[in-house]
Amino acid sequence: MRLKIKIVGIIQGVGFRPFIYRTAVKNQLKGYVKNRGDAGVEILLEGKESDIHNFMRDLKEKKPPLAQIHEIITTELKGKNEYATFSIHKSSKETELSGSVIPPDIAICDDCLKELRNPKDPRHEYFFITCTNCGPRFTIIDTLPYDRENTTMRDFPMCSFCLKEYKDPLNRRFHAQTVACPRCGPKAYLTTHKGEFVKHKDPIREAGKLLAEGFIMAIKGYGGFHVAASTTKDKPLIRLREVKHRSQKPFAIMARSLEAIKTFAEVSKEEAALLTSYTRPIVLLNKNSAYYLSDLVAPGLHNVGVMLPYTGLHYMLFDKVDEPAFVMTSANPPNQPIIKDNEEALQSLGGTVDYFLFHNRQIAHRCDDSVVRMHGKNPVFLRRSRGYAPAPIMLKEKAKRCVVGLGGELNNTACVLLGNKAFISQHIDDVENVETREFLENATKHLIRLTNSTVDAVACDLHPKFTTTKLARDLAEENGWRLFQVQHHYAHIAALMIEHGVEEIVGVCCDGYGYGMDGEAWGGEILLCTRESSDFKRVAHLEKQPLIGGDLATRFPLRMATGILHKRVDVASWLLQNKTHFPHGESEIQLILNQLEKSNNIIETTSCGRVLDATAAVLGVCYERTYEGEPAMKLESAALKGKDVIKLEPIIKSNTLDTTQMLLEIFENREKYPKADLAYSMHSYLARGLAELAIENAEDNGIRTVGFSGGAACNQILTSIMRKAVETAGLRFLVHEAIPPGDGGVSFGQAVVGGFFQV
């Protein structure tokens, strides 16, 4: 029998061909296996039917751990057998099938780690040790098929030892494209902040020592540069915060081991599994009562973002020091993507760091670390990037057309929706200028090429002035694609529907800002969405509140609080007590009050984020937003051990949840109750009110499912209170599992509206 097999999935760069080779040989089959230019794999088998049958069984049951098989296409061939052996053929450039993709970067595996530590191993202490089961993939691949010459490893020809392993079918590095050793592979080296070479026989461990001594260092990794520093000393962190103009934003840290993490943070079983998984994301962990790291790591927050080492280099940093963890924050200049090139690093980080730890392998595609938080046993993606992108999210059904979603403005990603797969790009961040637009455009085109997709349409936000909207228009025109403009909160809820495969939902969507159908600022919305209507209805929302000074009200939450409270009480004297929190003091306060008196030209918003911000300001938890979501995140931290002391019944008038009265109660009781209780009370009020509205509208329309999406769905207190209310009412409550609830999920939501809902 002769059988041609084509496979679609994640099957290049995961040890798949070696596995096929071994399986074919084991079953006495002849023929070949080869990689194709569409990221797929082609196999020809010649032999007995029963042997082929066993081969097919092994293919499904014994495939390598990182391989994903999405589709197997078999064709029986006529004619005589042609092959005397089974072999791995040279890759072809054929691109016929679509929907395969290369794997994400994978953390160092246990076998490689053992070899790294074994003095007898030829790769002992080799910082870039990898095998077919681990190492960089997405960040080193320029083009397909996944062969060494198509990756940035092409600059490092294998030595005879590595080549021998590469050619040995029984070796773990058989056809491993990243195979390298101290003799032939990339080298690490240390330089001063000016790029002057620092001679040292052990540059990586020396770097670890320098960090422990209090120096700041830029370290090149798989997908970009990190800026690293001590976590136990204040001095380098003060300096780092000064030069980076980052007074409050939490720094992610890398801990030496799980045991080390447990000395300063609480780690559940699920969190430990996530921390040690091959994706190695940053996991937000609650600080424990013994927390002893510098308060400058994650100021004002109850949690800290922690990851474990994911390369040999990272492990070695800790070898000669006692530090429990180092700061490891993405090195990106303001409003720029993460730095990936050595020259660029010298130029833009030279003024920030004391030393550089470079290696001489290029990064083909940048990729930030992922960030995940557990809500009990459920993971919530704050950022889905390294370790996950570009692996697809498998959907329950197939889209009608191939759509590219370009997302919104902040915290962005792109998404290619193809059939029953959604390929979400790495984290792009805020798309506001030429550099980030270029990053988005390149990442999108790369993703289209990698998956060999033929795009039919492009989807973007409704906002006429977003950079991404303009880019979508350009791409639509250039390529003759259809253009879908999708309202921001509708995209969030549509994402939830397709992720769970539901037909209809009443979706609660809470975040900071989204351009509404009426052009107004939305952000606390209840949408009724059905696939049948291929549209949505805004059935309820939070009360509109004034945004005094537009963006200034977002940056200085006291403005938000003033706008809300001013309706009921005279806040002038309270504001004067807080005048130091206004950049222009008394005169600014006067200006704000005048503006409110005249009440002309004031934009209004239904944003949930802004109400939480205002609460944070009233309670003195946060007076200035120095990073996205700061006041609301600090309010959640403050509320952690609180209870509902106000117990205000939700005030609902014509499908609008009043937010003024609750803030007023908090304002008037601010001396009477602990901050924690008041902070919790606001969470409780909003969650109960939104749930009540959602349940009412669901019941009125005979809908059994309520969902929660938007950036505020990362908030554990809001989510758990809402869940309880909805489930108590006998309805199903849905949240995101694989898609980020925040704006990193918007590109997916836009794409699914175009791909599933539109005619």
Strand partners, 86: 31
C-alpha gyration radius of the chain: 27
**Could you tell which of Fe ion, Zn ion, none binds residue 159, using a CB distance below 5 to 8 A set by kind?**
Zn ion
Nearer to Fe ion, 296 or 713 (CB): 713
- In whole angstroms, give the CA distance from residue 197 to residue 193: 10
| Closest-CA residue to 101 (of 503, 424, 563, 474) | 424
Q: Report in angstroms how near the CB of residue 519 gets to Fe ion at its nearest.
A: 17
Report whether 541 contacts 526 (CB < 8 A).
yes
Report whether 402 contacts 456 (CB < 8 A).
yes
The residue with tokens 């915060």 is 241
**Could you tell which of Fe ion, Zn ion, none binds residue 561, using a CB distance below 5 to 8 A set by kind?**
none
**Beta-carbon contacts of residue 653 (< 8 Å; ≥ 6 apart):** none
- In whole angstroms, give the CA distance from residue 728 to residue 722: 10
Q: Report in angstroms how near the CB of residue 65 gets to Zn ion at its nearest.
A: 11
- In whole angstroms, give the CA distance from residue 726 to residue 694: 8
Nearer to Zn ion, 178 or 595 (CB): 178
**Could you tell which of Zn ion, Fe ion, none binds residue 309, using a CB distance below 5 to 8 A set by kind?**
none
CB atoms within 10 A of CB 258: 14
Judged by CB under 5 A, the stretch of 125-133, 274-282, 533-541, 570-578 that binds Zn ion is 125-133
Among 184, 591, 593, 664, binds Zn ion (CB under 5 A): 184
CB atoms within 10 A of CB 483: 15
**Could you tell which of Fe ion, Zn ion, none binds residue 134, using a CB distance below 5 to 8 A set by kind?**
Zn ion
Q: Report in angstroms how near the CB of residue 134 gets to Zn ion at its nearest.
A: 3
In the bound state, the residue with its beta carbon closest to Fe ion is 511
Count the residues of the shown chain that bind Fe ion, applying the rule CB under 5 A.
Answer: 3
Q: Report in angstroms how near the CB of residue 161 gets to Zn ion at its nearest.
A: 5
Judged by CB under 5 A, the stretch of 250-258, 373-381, 449-457, 509-517 that binds Fe ion is 509-517
Among 41, 141, 162, 364, binds Zn ion (CB under 5 A): 162
Nearer to Zn ion, 163 or 238 (CB): 163
**Could you tell which of Zn ion, Fe ion, none binds residue 133, using a CB distance below 5 to 8 A set by kind?**
Zn ion
Nearer to Zn ion, 109 or 402 (CB): 109
Q: Which residues in the 450-489 window bind Zn ion by CB under 5 A?
A: none
Nearer to Fe ion, 429 or 511 (CB): 511
Q: Report in angstroms how near the CB of residue 518 gets to Fe ion at its nearest.
A: 17
The residue with tokens 């944003």 is 607
- In whole angstroms, give the CA distance from residue 670 to residue 311: 49
Instruction: Assign residue 411 a region (left: φ > 0; alpha: ψ between -120 and 50; beta: otherwise).
Output: left
Among 511, 525, 588, 630, binds Fe ion (CB under 5 A): 511
Q: Report in angstroms how near the CB of residue 282 gets to Zn ion at its nearest.
A: 22
Q: Which residues in the 543-572 window bind Fe ion by CB under 5 A?
A: none
Q: Report in angstroms how near the CB of residue 105 gets to Fe ion at its nearest.
A: 27
Token duo for residue 497? 């529907």
| Closest-CA residue to 742 (of 412, 503, 520) | 412
**Could you tell which of Fe ion, Zn ion, none binds residue 181, using a CB distance below 5 to 8 A set by kind?**
Zn ion
Q: Report in angstroms how near the CB of residue 427 gets to Zn ion at its nearest.
A: 25
Q: Report in angstroms how near the CB of residue 712 gets to Fe ion at its nearest.
A: 9
Q: Report in angstroms how near the CB of residue 215 gets to Fe ion at its nearest.
A: 39
Residue 743 is a binding residue for Fe ion (CB under 5 A): yes
| Closest-CA residue to 146 (of 276, 16, 35, 289) | 35
Nearer to Zn ion, 183 or 704 (CB): 183
Longest dimension (CA), the chain: 95
**Could you tell which of Zn ion, Fe ion, none binds residue 743, using a CB distance below 5 to 8 A set by kind?**
Fe ion
Nearer to Fe ion, 281 or 710 (CB): 710
Q: Report in angstroms how near the CB of residue 746 gets to Fe ion at its nearest.
A: 6
Q: Which residues in the 703-742 window bind Fe ion by CB under 5 A?
A: 710
**Long-range contacts for 332-338 (Cβ within 8 Å, ≥24 apart)?**
332/224, 332/429, 334/245, 335/430, 335/432, 335/433, 335/435, 335/436, 336/435, 336/436, 337/366, 337/428, 337/429, 337/435, 337/436, 337/439, 338/223, 338/224, 338/225, 338/366, 338/367, 338/368
**Could you tell which of Fe ion, Zn ion, none binds residue 186, using a CB distance below 5 to 8 A set by kind?**
none
Judged by CB under 5 A, the stretch of 164-172, 295-303, 505-513, 649-657 that binds Fe ion is 505-513
Nearer to Zn ion, 93 or 164 (CB): 164
Token duo for residue 109? 């595996």
Nearer to Fe ion, 368 or 511 (CB): 511
Judged by CB under 5 A, the stretch of 130-138, 262-270, 335-343, 636-644 that binds Zn ion is 130-138
Token duo for residue 40? 């797929």
Q: Rounded to 5 degrees, what are φ and ψ at 317?
A: -55, -30
Residue 525 is a binding residue for Fe ion (CB under 5 A): no
Helix (H) or strand (E) holding 316: helix 312-317
Judged by CB under 5 A, the stretch of 177-185, 433-441, 494-502, 734-742 that binds Zn ion is 177-185
Q: Report in angstroms how near the CB of residue 154 gets to Zn ion at its nearest.
A: 15
CA distances from 633 to 108, 141, 302 (A): 33, 37, 9
Token duo for residue 533? 């209507």
Nearer to Zn ion, 129 or 612 (CB): 129
What is the residue type of 209? Answer: K
Judged by CB under 5 A, the stretch of 213-221, 511-519, 573-581, 733-741 that binds Fe ion is 511-519
Nearer to Zn ion, 104 or 523 (CB): 104
Token duo for residue 597? 């008196």
Nearer to Fe ion, 557 or 744 (CB): 744
Token duo for residue 241? 């915060």
The sign of the torsion formed by the CA atoms of 350, 353, 354, 357 equals negative
Q: Report in angstroms how near the CB of residue 28 gets to Fe ion at its nearest.
A: 57
Instruction: Assign residue 146 a region (left: φ > 0; alpha: ψ between -120 and 50; beta: otherwise).
Output: beta
**Could you tell which of Fe ion, Zn ion, none binds residue 109, using a CB distance below 5 to 8 A set by kind?**
Zn ion
What is the DSSP annotation of 540-579?
EEEPPEEETTTHHHHH-HHHHHHHHHTTTS--HHHHHHTG
Q: Report in angstroms how near the CB of residue 212 gets to Zn ion at its nearest.
A: 28
**Could you tell which of Fe ion, Zn ion, none binds residue 131, using a CB distance below 5 to 8 A set by kind?**
Zn ion
**Could you tell which of Zn ion, Fe ion, none binds residue 24, using a CB distance below 5 to 8 A set by kind?**
none
Q: Report in angstroms how near the CB of residue 368 gets to Zn ion at its nearest.
A: 23
**Could you tell which of Zn ion, Fe ion, none binds residue 274, using a CB distance below 5 to 8 A set by kind?**
none
Token duo for residue 132? 């077919």
Question: Side-chain half-sphere of 273: how many Cα atoms within 13 Å?
Answer: 7
Q: Which residues in the 88-117 window bind Zn ion by CB under 5 A?
A: 109, 112
Nearer to Zn ion, 127 or 481 (CB): 127
- In whole angstroms, give the CA distance from residue 666 to residue 348: 45
Residue 461 is a binding residue for Fe ion (CB under 5 A): no
**Beta-carbon contacts of residue 635 (< 8 Å; ≥ 6 apart):** 612, 613, 615, 616, 619, 621, 622, 679, 682, 683
- In whole angstroms, give the CA distance from residue 671 to residue 674: 8
| Closest-CA residue to 366 (of 425, 279, 310) | 425
**Could you tell which of Zn ion, Fe ion, none binds residue 665, using a CB distance below 5 to 8 A set by kind?**
none
Give the residues lining the site for Zn ion (CB under 5 A): 109, 112, 131, 133-134, 159, 162, 181, 183-184
Give the residues lining the site for Fe ion (CB under 5 A): 511, 710, 743
